[in-house]
Amino acid sequence: MTSTQTIESTSNPKQLVWLITGTSSGIGLSLARAALSRGDKVLATARSKSINAPVMQELKEFGKENVMLLELDVTSGLDVLKEVAKKAVGVWGRVDVVVNNAGYVLSGMLEENSPQETFDQFNTNLFGGINVTRAFLPYMRERKRGTIVWIGSIYGFAPCAYGSAYVGSKWATRGMSLTLNDEISHLGLRSIVIDFGYFRTGVLDPNRRVSTQGRDQSTGIEDYRPIVEKVEALLDGAHGRQPGDPAKGAQAVVDIVRGEGKAAGKPFPREVLLGTDCYQIATDEARKFLEEVEVWKDVSFGTDFAEGDSGIGNDLALAALQRGDKVLATARSKSVNSTAMQKLKEAGKENIAVLELDVTSGLDTLKLVAREAVSVWGRVDVVVNNAGYVLFGVLEENTYAHILLDPSYPILTLSYRRPQETYDQFNTNLFGALNVTRAFLPYMRERKTGTVVWIGSMYGLAPCAYGSAYVGTKWAMRGMSMTLDDEISSLGLRSIVVDFGYFRTAVLNPNRRVTKNQTGIEDYKPIVEKMEGLVNGADGRQPGDPRKGAQAIVDVVRGEGAAAGKPFPRELLLGTDCYQTAKSEAKRHLEEVEAWQSVSCGTDFTEGK
C-alpha cells in the first residue's frame, strides 16, 4: 500500500470483524461499543477473571449476535495465543482489525522499579501485543488485508517522571508499530498507533493504580519523595476530571479504520493523537526536539568519517583517557582478557581498571560490581550504557528460537513464556542498562553528582523494517533516559541519550551480525533481501568515525570543545545521517499531526461535562 492510497481504497467492506484485547473496561470497552454501533462484529476479549464480569455481559446484550466473548491473556505466550487466534478466526471466518489495547500503568521511579516490575510492565503493554500480532498476521497475510491498531499514550513521545517503565513500553510501541507498517504495507496490511491523552477512564482511580510501593510512599527512597508526592497528588486531582471522552475517542478510532467521518478521503496515517492535551504536548515536544537538534548541529556534523575502525565503547574509553580521566572498562568474561582490552590497559596505565561485567547478569550481581567499581577510585562520575547488539529480523518472525551469542550467555529465568529473540534483545539493550543504572545511582545520589549516558541509535528516532526488536529497544531507551533526567535532575544528576547514525564499527560485519536464522516467511523475502543487500553494502562504508563520536561524548559530558557554554542536552545526535533522519522524521510527524488536528482535538468532553 502506498502512502497516497486513501482509507476507502483498502478498507471498504460494509462490515468489519474486530478483535480487541482488554475490553472489560476503559478504552477497550468503549471501542467495542463504537464498532458494534457501526454494525461491525466484535470479538471482545478479557482475562479469565474478567470474562464473566457484569460489564462484559452487558456488552454481549448490547451487541447481540455481533459480539463474541473470548478469554485471552496477552501474557500467556505465543503458542496459546495462536490457538486463540485460530478460534477467533473460526467464529466469522476472518479478523479484519486487531486492537492491542490491553495494558496498565506502573507508577514508580526508575531506580525503585524492580527488574520484575519493569518486565511485567513490558510483558503486558508491549510483548503481549507483539505476540497477539504474530498470532493473527498469518491470517491477514493470507487474505492480503488487515489492520493492526496499537493503543499508545501521550507518554509515548514525552517523558513522565514517576512513570519510567510505562513510558518505555509506550515509546517502544510507537517505534515497533511504525516499523511493522513498513514491513507489511506491501502486502496490503496496515499498522497504526493511536496515542491517547488523558481520557476519563478508571486508569487513575486510586484504588486501581499500580505503584511500586503501592500507596505507601514511606517505603520509598527519601530523595525521590518530593517527586512522588507531587505526581501522586496530580494523579489524584486529575482522576474524574480528565478532558478526553472515551466514547468520542473510540468513535474516532473506528472512523480512522473504516475511512469514515473526519477520516474520509485522507491517506491512512501511521499515527494519530487523540485529545487536545495529547496534540499540544506532542507538538511541543517535537518542536523542542527540533530546536535542540539545531543547537547541537555542529557536533552532529563533526563526527563523520576519518580513518579508523573500532567500537564505540573502546574509542570512548580512549577518548576519556586522553583527557586525563580515569576509566573502569568493563566486558563479559569471554572478552575481559581480549587483545583489545589488553591494548586499552597499556594505553591507560594507572588510569584504567578492567572489570568483568555482563549487563544481563541480574541486579544483585550488578550491585556487587558497582560496589567494586566505586571502591577502585572512590567514586564513579559517569556511567555509559553502551553494551548491546542488533537483532535483524521482521517482527512476525522473531519468536522463540534463541540465538546464543556464546555458550556462557546468561538468560534470566522468569516464570513467563516469552518471544525469546525479542526478549534477549531487550534484556541486553534495555533491561541490562536499566539494572546497571540502578546499581550505580545510589552512589551518585550520595555525592549529588553524576551522569548517566545511554548509547542510542538513529533507529530510536525512526522505523527500520527488518529491525523491529532493535528499534523497540532504542525507542524505549530514549523515553526512559529523558524520564530519568526528570527524576534525578533536582538531585544534581543528569541523564542523556546519545543517538548514533551509521558509524564504522563491526556491527554490520556479516560474520558478527545476529540474524533471524530460521527459514523465512515467503511474504517477507523482498524486504529481507533488500535490507540484507543494504546492510552488506554499508559494511565498511559507514560515514561515522567512532573516534570523533567518542570525543564528542566526552566534550558534552565535560562541557568542553564544541559543547563549551551550551546547556547540557537531553539528547545528542551524532552523524550527519542521524541528524538528517531525525529532522526528517520529526517534520513528517508534525505534518501528520497537523493533518489530523481536527480529529485529535475533537475527542474532548464538551464544555461543562
Beta pairing partners, 392: 515
Distances (CA, A) of 187 to 50, 374, 531, 602: 36, 54, 17, 32
CA distance linking residue 334 with residue 539, whole number of Å: 25
Beta pairing partners, 384: 453
CA distance linking residue 60 with residue 52, whole number of Å: 10
Name 530's Cβ contacts closer than 8 Å, sequence gap at least 6.
none
Strand order in the sheet with 382-385: 382-385, 450-457, 493-500, 571-574
Residue numbers annotated as active site: 166
For residue 183, give the nearest of 135, 139, 148, 131 by alpha carbon: 148
Q: How would you classify the pairing of strands 271-274 and 327-331?
A: unpaired
For residue 100, give the nearest of 171, 154, 173 by alpha carbon: 173
Torsion of CA 581, 426, 171, 48, to 10 degrees: 150
CA distance linking residue 129 with residue 147, whole number of Å: 14
Q: Is the distance from CB of 583 to CB of 293 less than 8 angstroms?
A: yes
CA distance linking residue 398 with residue 405, whole number of Å: 16
CA distance linking residue 69 with residue 43, whole number of Å: 6
Q: What is the CA radius of gyration of the chain?
A: 24
With vertex at residue 337, the alpha carbon angle to CA 333 and CA 339, rounded to the nearest 5 degrees, is 135
SS3 399: coil
The span from the first CA to the last CA of the chain, in angstroms, equals 41
